[in-house]
Amino acid sequence: MIADPLSKSFGFAKGIYNYLKAKEGRNFSVKLVDLQVFNFKDGEFKVKIAENIRRKKCFLIFDSNKTPCRWMCELAFTLEAMTFSSPEEINVILPYTRFARQDKKDESRVSVNSRVLADIVSMYATRGMTVDLHAGQIQEYFNIPFDNLYSFTTLVDYLEKNHPRILDDLVIVSPDLGGGKRAEGLVKRLQQRGIKASVALGHKTREKDNEVAKIVVIGDVENKNCLIIDDIIDTGNTLIKTAEVLKAQGARNIYAYGTHGLFTCGIDKFQVFDKVLVSDSLQNIFLDDRFEIVPLIDLFGEAIYRTIVGESLSILFDGCIKQV
């Protein structure tokens, strides 16, 4: 395993390493190797793998907390450095895949940045892995196996253990029609655990990026616990407007879950929620107990273990089975 010890995600990488070290029945050795990043005064930088990785199966746990441009550039340089180090395999672990919202040509003369990213990764890596891609079809852009893990089973485990009351009279709310399948997927996993839930859908109109003009919620939410789900919490404007509509329609309690918490405008304006849940794919430190982190370290650790030994990953997404 390779990770930058000075990066914000090193704790995430070390958690995966510890999971593998403690894995019962493991018959292979595990080592955590430093990725060294050297910065120059003019803004250039270079990367170096601190130890020999020749003929090793390597898993790069890459820091998703960097700015998008630095993230993509450093990822390309790191993959180049790994390739010249002659490993047996290069597996790229992206807790949060940046540029995934730019997955199609939605107007003239624009780049499809997620395809560019996929081309770069596919040029060097043997395999890739991420969680809750913004659009599942992005997997098809890669010319290598690229696994998109789902965090919903982990979320259900977390809610059952820590907040079982949220699961009573529950409505899963998608803030837009495009997320309808995501909401249905969570409802299916809840039903497999014997938890009844229904779906409500939001329809939003935008005047420009990151600015929602209007939201209409379709579904019965009166006197219900409402959990709004999305893959990314960026400014939070869509979630907040959806929550305000739910409140006006008589919702009992309003919660939110977003796998990747960017919070580009801070967290102060999220007071409309009773609870906001995000994963640890990005580093967030909350002083407000209204916010909680759903850890995905075990999910990635088990997925990496199964990749190494050649076992199926699909069991990790079965709502009937609690993750190990």
**Based on the domain organization, do 312 and 240 belong to the same domain?**
no
What are the tokens at 95? 């807790």
**Based on the domain organization, do 193 and 206 belong to the same domain?**
yes
Report yes or no on 323 lying in a domain: no
* Three-state secondary structure call for residue 223: coil
Report yes or no on 322 lying in a domain: no
**Based on the domain organization, do 146 and 159 belong to the same domain?**
no
How do the pLDDT tens digits run along the chain, 324 residues long? 999 999 999 999 999 999 999 999 999 999 999 999 999 999 999 999 999 999 999 999 999 999 999 999 999 999 999 999 999 999 999 999 999 999 998 889 999 999 999 999 999 999 999 999 998 889 999 999 999 999 999 999 999 999 999 999 999 999 988 889 999 999 999 999 999 999 999 987 766 665 656 789 999 999 999 999 999 999 999 999 999 999 999 999 999 999 999 999 999 999 999 999 999 999 999 989 999 999 999 999 999 999 999 999 988 876 544 544
* Three-state secondary structure call for residue 258: strand
Residue among 277, 315, 311 nearest 296 (CA) = 277
What's the pLDDT score for residue 179? 87
Report yes or no on 45 lying in a domain: yes
Report yes or no on 324 lying in a domain: no
**Based on the domain organization, do 115 and 171 belong to the same domain?**
no
**Based on the domain organization, do 137 and 229 belong to the same domain?**
no
First to last CA, the chain: 21
Domain extent, residue 131, equals 2-150+297-317
Maximal C-alpha separation, the chain: 61
pLDDT in tens, 209-234: 656 567 899 999 999 999 999 999 99
Q: How many domains does the chain have?
A: 2
Annotated catalytic residue: which of 23, 56, 66, 204?
Answer: 204
HSE toward the beta carbon, residue 249, CA cutoff 13 A: 21
**Based on the domain organization, do 261 and 305 belong to the same domain?**
no
**Based on the domain organization, do 283 and 301 belong to the same domain?**
no
Tell me if residue 204 is catalytic.
yes
pTM: 0.93
CATH of the domain at 202: 3.40.50.2020
**Based on the domain organization, do 137 and 14 belong to the same domain?**
yes
One DSSP character per residue, 82-121 reads: HHTT--SEEEEEESS-TTTT--S--STT---HHHHHHHHH
Other Cβ atoms closer than 10 A to 48:
14
**Based on the domain organization, do 176 and 256 belong to the same domain?**
yes
**Based on the domain organization, do 102 and 174 belong to the same domain?**
no
Report yes or no on 168 lying in a domain: yes
**Based on the domain organization, do 70 and 162 belong to the same domain?**
no
**Based on the domain organization, do 239 and 282 belong to the same domain?**
yes
What's the pLDDT score for residue 204? 75
